Structure 1
Amino acid sequence: MVYPQVANRAWRDGADSRTLTCVDLDDLLASQQGVISRAQAHACRLTDRRLEWLVSSGRWQRVHLGVYATFSGPLPYLAWVWAAILRAGPGSVASHRTAAYLDGLCDDPGPVIHVTVPADRYVEPRIDGVRVHFAHRLARTRHPAATPPRTRVEETVLDLVDVAPRPREAETWVTAACQRRLTTPERLADALGRRKKIRWRAMVEAMLADVADGAQSPLELRHLRRVERAHGLPTGHRQRRIAGNRVIWIDVDYPEYRLRVELDGRIGHTGEGRFRDRHRDNRATVDGHATLRYGHADVFGDPCGVAAEQARVLRARGWTRRPRSCGPSCPHPSRDHQGSIPS
């Protein structure tokens, strides 16, 4: 019997498909979502003539050249992934957005299947619905047991960072992986250190330090950098857990000044999440805390305005300094060479 992990290992190592026997066929199909390659079919003693009859009779269907689905009707997503991997050949794995979807890193797999093959392999450059990538380090970056075969989650994140066209998209992949608890900043940093070349390296290294300090989304990172640090505001405590009759989480807490800042992305702030937010804000007000709430349009669109509003509340609650200018277009006055602010 060929169990899924055994078939997966054989495909990873490029084992000769003739080592499979005909009694393995049902188990092989179960492990590969009903998809099989011509070489595997030959190993199970199916001739080309038999394969052609199965396809022409409608019992099977040809998905790619030399790859078949052993059923009629639409293919489920995992079957498409297996078909792409089998078409690309032994040693191939799902990668990039496809691997991200398989691991729960994103909720949309995108319009094409991404596979990565060893760099020394030749693969037809055009496979319908499939994007082929090549990697020299694939033996080390592939997951040892996951099925369908795919890259390790840390490598998937870094692959997506490397092809991200904009910094904000790269931020999203890193923070999503940590926020969904699929990996940690430490494991990502370790994987990053083993890569010689990657786009956005300096930004990702800085992000990983910030994420380790508690910032869990691009919105929180933007607030940390462009609102708090850029304007010299006090350093808040991020993702602070407050225990009581009900455990609550504070996005950014300034306990010395009894001020809380909530950063509302779309996830978790609709429906029941919106009710929890209101309950938390009401409780904070009863306890003497002020709550400021900002969304993407505020923090990305007007970080200086957010800083000014926070600064007014902080000063009203005991902060004795003033915000500083973050650049030529910032409305806050610049500090002089001694660090003071002109009156």
Structure 2
Amino acid sequence: MDLEQLVAAQDGVVSRAQALACGLTEDALTWRLRSGRWQRVHPGVYVTFSGPLPFAARVWAAILRAGRGAVASHRTAAHLDGLCDDPGPVVHVTAPGDRHVRGKTDGVRVHYAHRLPRSRHPARNPPRTRVEDTVLDLVDVASHPREVETWVTAACQRRATTPERLADALGRRKKIRWRAVAVALLADVVDGAHSPLELRHLRRVERAHGLPTGCRQRRVAGERVIWIDVDYAEFHLRVELDGRIGHTGEGRFRDRRRDNHATVGGHATLRYGHADVFGDPCGVAAEHVRVLRARGWTGTPLSCRPGCPVPACGRP
């Protein structure tokens, strides 16, 4: 590969060693830098254009700075694969665990892993960890279980991977923080909870109060396909959990059409957002119980804590 092809493949970034190996002389390299045609990004790493660096160029520069075998990882890899919308201020790369990158590089965080040959994606550019290993790397450095929920559910909700593939990757990790949380979380994601809001509803509204088990992410085909977040089909009750910004504008009209269609078909619809499910799960459960009771449910609701209003509202 000649220099022009290499630079194009690396989003305009090249290392000193690569440029010399492609036949560029020391004098030619120095002239490009002094004339401003090229920029020095890190020691021995250059971009072959002037002006600000796009994100992909910053990633390539960090990978080349970290050296042979290094790949993008953690939040950087997550952004490259569409798991998050904000890459954050730092580029994360992982280098093989048998060596050390000398010196501190501004804007770059270098991690080390002996498993890198197995976790590196075989084809994607810029080089990065596989999606499942990216998620588990982020789980391992999470400071709170809520972050674990966010990364695992985002990966599955955005269809970047599946709970089964994540579970396989987790089984190959000898050491990882929050393992128990991740195992329980993957089981709930398999049951259809695809976001932190849906997980909260499953655990703190439904299970904590002894409600019947709803069918999650149910696909209903008709004139147009609709998805129901939680469907208590036996009792003709549907629950919609609006945790995303898409429930405004055209999304709001789609919600209205869906709710109207359900009502015409004899279904009741309860709709909640983050403030409801996270702020008052007992109050949400109490509303569920009242509607379920009116529609034939004869089960016994549970109290999740002293003062919980659910048992009282659930008396037949």
Single out whichever of 84-93 and 156-165 deviates more from structure 2. 156-165
Which string of whole-angstrom CA distances, capped at 9 and with x for unpartnered residues, describes residues 208-232 of structure 1? 1111121111111110111001110
Deviation at 1:333, TM superposition (A): 4.5
2:93 aligned residue (115, 127, 141): 115
Partner SS for 2:209: coil
1:326 aligned residue (290, 295, 304): 304
Deviation at 1:71, TM superposition (A): 1.2
Single out whichever of 262-271 and 177-186 deviates more from structure 2. 262-271
Long gaps (5+) in structure 1: 3-23, 335-340
Deviation at 1:50, TM superposition (A): 2.6
1:315 aligned residue (290, 293, 309): 293
Confirm or deny that 1:290 pairs with 2:268.
Answer: yes
Which string of whole-angstrom CA distances, capped at 9 and with x for unpartnered residues, describes residues 244-272 of structure 1? 11211110001111110000012431221
CA contact (8 A) 1:253 1:261 kept: yes
CA distance in 1, matches of 2:224, 2:315: 46
CA distance in 1, matches of 2:36, 2:227: 56
CA distance in 2, matches of 1:130, 1:140: 23
Counterpart of 2:226 in structure 1 is 248
CA contact (8 A) 1:299 1:306 kept: yes
Single out whichever of 164-173 and 45-54 deviates more from structure 2. 45-54
Number of aligned residue pairs: give it. 315
TM-score norm. by structure 2 comes to 0.96
Paired residues for 1:61-72 under 5 Å: 61-72=39-50
CA distance in 1, matches of 2:176, 2:249: 40
Counterpart of 2:30 in structure 1 is 52
Confirm or deny that 1:127 pairs with 2:105.
Answer: yes
| Structure 1 residues 198 and 187: CA distance shift in structure 2, 3 A | same
2:141 aligned residue (163, 171, 179): 163
Which string of whole-angstrom CA distances, capped at 9 and with x for unpartnered residues, describes residues 271-316 of structure 1? 2111110000011111111110010111111111111110111011
Percent identity, aligned pairs only, is: 78
Counterpart of 2:54 in structure 1 is 76
CA contact (8 A) 1:311 1:322 kept: no
Paired residues for 1:154-193 under 5 Å: 154-193=132-171
Single out whichever of 232-241 and 121-130 deviates more from structure 2. 121-130
CA contact (8 A) 2:283 2:310 kept: no
Counterpart of 1:27 in structure 2 is 5
Paired residues for 1:83-102 under 5 Å: 83-102=61-80
1:36 aligned residue (1, 14, 17): 14
CA distance in 2, matches of 1:333, 1:234: 14
Confirm or deny that 1:231 pairs with 2:206.
Answer: no
Query: Which of structure 1's runs of 4+ aligned residues deviate more than 2 A?
Result: 45-50, 327-334
CA contact (8 A) 2:285 2:310 kept: no
Long gaps (5+) in structure 2: none
Partner SS for 1:249: strand
CA distance in 1, matches of 2:63, 2:289: 55
Counterpart of 2:248 in structure 1 is 270
CA distance in 2, matches of 1:44, 1:241: 55
Letter matched to residue 84 of structure 1: A
Confirm or deny that 1:302 pairs with 2:296.
Answer: no
